[in-house]
Structure 1
Amino acid sequence: MAQISSRWLLRGGIGQYQLTNTEALVMLALLDHVGKDGVAWRTQTDLARDLRVSRQWVNKAQSRLRARGMLIEHEPGRQGRATRYRFGDTANLKLVNSDDMSTPLNMSTLRGKSNVIDMSTHIAGGKKISGQ
């Protein structure tokens, strides 16, 4: 029985479970705030500020992580106090295919389909940028 760890996430867990950037960042931020008892807590407001995303994005990410079994609510939050979480067992995680979840962008599908613009000829701040 192996619990989720930052090492597990960074060595394949993010890709295997197709976590969005926000979900991965929320997991890593919570893993960074784990106590000796194995319980993590950080308010959504603090997570949003630290990760430079909206509180709504943090809330959605936490909901999706709970649905997968990655986050397990240990103690519910209340006014002025963060929800306390334990991390799931890697053997019991679920792949969640939900219409409201965005599919991670695969850069190989964009190869040859994008336009590259030479910005060296554009004017920035009233001065022409010279080519390199």
Structure 2
Amino acid sequence: MQALPDWPEKTVTVLSTGSGAPHAIPVSTAVRRGPRELAFALALRRESLARLREDARCAVTILAQGLSITVHGRATVERELERIAVVRVDVESIQDHASPRFEIDAGVAWHWTSEEAAQGDEETRNAL
């Protein structure tokens, strides 16, 4: 796979970082910016953000209907806002996990539990 495929908005992805023991967290803000670039937001207090500042290497696993890939790349903090950092990942390789033996039927279903959280999410997505 040479280019990032599209995936549905609000797909839960998994960010894996190093800089110590492996560390993985779910991220709900990942967006495709181009064939070899994606971006997401992390809260400024996240350990994953501190790890990426120390070691930019990362992996982002994306699981959605009909899609199962892991993106390997280097993260750059593009800018910090009041409560989040906008992180860009320049893609070095894309590992396609597709197999004729299985198919991903759906991604993780989730929702915000307050209007305030939903509004904050909208502001975050607009920053990406």
Normalised-by-shorter TM-score class = 0.3 to 0.5
- TM-score, L = length of structure 2: 0.32
| Bigger fraction of residues in strand | 2
Bigger Rg, structure 1 or 2: 1
